[in-house]
């Protein structure tokens, strides 16, 4: 790896980047200054100019620095007040030990240009940059929340509706970047900042972003990115395109579903081998509450062959938007057509359950039939139903799912003329639309999951 880096500067920059997995989100301010400030942060603070406001840590090119948001291998992020525009901003300062590295400065400049080229609510906005200063810095929108990584560390797996909210916004932001010809190459929870819970997020750290037609994008043998969230082609040092980001997004969704990354090993090279050669553990083995159709979305994103994945972030965003609408209002919004078949993945279990219920009903009916109760008058020798019994119109009965409002239909049956059920009246398709069936299926998921676990326990005895 050191040989591939080609120079000490490149090797130093690469090493710092690989350590830059999670940003330390501890805020340091003048009021709460501690004696145990990390050395890198202290270096940046010492490099600040004096401020006429005693509450500030210092001044940087006209910005009043009020605190330190966090730090990582590549630099320090400061919280600042932009006096001319009277707004709070975040300033990312290149780490002092990298400021003398030409490769690090180049990456820093590239990050500013790449992010500034994308104007989208889910992509961090760049307000300014200075790559000629002793400590290069770029000025960004301040996001008051936390990273998705920290949220996962604190709470583990997210609820399905929040998973979809995050995934849809990620896909939308990536679509905007891809449509500008950029590939992010480092999509991971630590580079996703949450604002107002999961209602709004922004994608950050475009330091590895490249134009699709950039020569370095097609150079083989060069590996850049965070191992656990790389695509197979990225892990293999092959040429990549925007579909590589979609594989990484699939890994982020997997992590939100299970609370852990999909590919884990004892070493980075072990992780890379798993990404290229193996499929991750099934999501529902780790979290049975995740619906089958969401698992199928992740599985498609995790296809080793880019041609078998979703072909654009825009296509994925549209699918995720429809899924989110379905989860929020299942009776009103149907799942996308391509995902509906995955909801029938437990057909054998449902059939088995139906057989058990049918046997129980038959046994009950047989016992009643042989209980000695008079029933001869209740049975007519003709095909018609007795006048004093409400008729049942098979055309209004779904053969797959029960009516969720039986009392309403019974009332209608009592007040309307009844048809005779004969062979001349074949049953028509079910009364209920597909979206209602999907909604009931979602509501049955927890029950079916519990039954499935019980059956598996019985089989293991």
Which residues share a beta bridge with 391?
Answer: none
Phi, psi of 139 (to 5 degrees): -105, 130
- State yes or no: is 387 an active-site residue: no
Token pair of 43, please? 């270096």
Sign of CA dihedral 430, 436, 438, 443: negative
Task: Report the run of H or E that residue 179 belongs to, with start and end.
Answer: helix 160-179
Q: Could you tell me if 300 and 279 are in contact, meaning their C-beta atoms sit under 8 angstroms apart?
A: no
Reduce the DSSP state of residue 304 to 3 states and report it.
Answer: coil
Q: What residues have CB less than 8 Å from 184, skipping those under 6 apart?
A: 174, 177, 203, 206, 208, 209, 245, 248
Q: Could you tell me if 319 and 249 are in contact, meaning their C-beta atoms sit under 8 angstroms apart?
A: no
**Burial readout 312-323 (b: 16 or more C-beta within 10 A, e: otherwise):** bbbebbbbbbbb
**Burial readout 59-91 (b: 16 or more C-beta within 10 A, e: otherwise):** bbeebbbbbbbbbbbbbbbbbbbbeeeeeebbb
Q: Could you tell me if 156 and 259 are in contact, meaning their C-beta atoms sit under 8 angstroms apart?
A: yes
From 20, 186, 205, 438, the catalytic residue: 186
Q: Is 418 exposed, middle or buried (0-12, 13-18, 19+ CB in 10 A)?
A: middle
Q: What string of DSSP letters covers 15-67?
A: HHHHH-SS-B---EESTT--TT--HHHHHHHHHSBP-S-TTSSEEETTEEEEE
Active site residues: 186
């Amino acid at each position: 790896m050191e040989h591939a880096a080609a120079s000490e500067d490149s090797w130093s920059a690469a090493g710092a980047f690989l350590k830059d997995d999670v940003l330390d989100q501890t805020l340091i301010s003048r009021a709460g200054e501690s004696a145990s400030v990390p050395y890198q942060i202290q270096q940046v603070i010492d490099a600040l100019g004096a401020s006429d406001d005693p509450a500030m840590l210092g001044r940087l090119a006209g910005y009043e620095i009020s605190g330190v948001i966090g730090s990582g291998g590549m630099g320090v992020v400061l919280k600042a007040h932009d006096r001319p525009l009277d707004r709070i901003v975040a300033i990312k300062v290149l780490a002092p030990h990298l400021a003398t590295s030409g490769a690090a400065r180049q990456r820093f400049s590239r990050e500013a240009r790449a992010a500034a080229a994308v104007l989208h609510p889910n992509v961090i906005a760049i307000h300014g940059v200075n790559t000629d200063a002793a400590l290069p810095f770029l000025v960004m929108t301040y996001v008051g929340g936390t990273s998705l990584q920290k949220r996962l560390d604190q709470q583990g797996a997210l609820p399905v509706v929040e998973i979809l909210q995050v995934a849809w916004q990620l896909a939308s932001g990536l679509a905007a970047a891809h449509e500008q010809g950029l590939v992010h190459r480092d999509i991971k929870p630590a580079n996703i900042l949450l604002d107002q819970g999961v209602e709004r997020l922004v994608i950050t750290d475009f330091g590895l972003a490249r134009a699709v037609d950039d020569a370095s994008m097609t150079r083989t043998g060069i590996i850049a990115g965070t191992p656990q969230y790389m695509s197979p082609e990225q892990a293999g040092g092959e040429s990549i395109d925007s579909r590589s980001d979609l594989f990484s997004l699939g890994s982020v969704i997997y992590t939100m579903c299970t609370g852990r990354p999909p590919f884990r090993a004892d070493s980075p090279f072990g992780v890379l081998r798993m990404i290229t050669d193996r499929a991750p553990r099934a999501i529902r083995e780790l979290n049975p509450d995740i619906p089958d159709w969401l698992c199928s979305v992740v599985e498609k994103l995790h296809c080793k062959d880019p041609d078998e994945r979703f072909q654009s972030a825009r296509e994925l965003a549209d699918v995720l938007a429809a899924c989110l609408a379905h989860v929020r209002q299942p009776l009103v919004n149907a799942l996308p057509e391509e995902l509906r078949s995955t909801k029938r993945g437990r057909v054998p279990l449902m059939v088995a359950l139906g057989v058990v219920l049918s046997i129980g009903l038959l046994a009950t009916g047989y016992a009643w039939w042989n209980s000695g109760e008079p029933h001869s008058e209740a049975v007519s020798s003709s095909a018609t139903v007795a006048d004093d019994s409400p008729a049942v119109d098979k055309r209004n009965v779904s053969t797959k799912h029960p009516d969720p409002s039986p009392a309403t239909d019974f009332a209608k049956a009592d007040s309307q003329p009844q048809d005779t059920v004969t062979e001349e009246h074949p049953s028509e398709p079910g009364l209920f639309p597909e979206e209602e069936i999907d909604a009931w299926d979602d509501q049955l998921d927890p029950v079916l999951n519990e039954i499935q676990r019980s059956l598996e326990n019985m089989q293991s005895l």
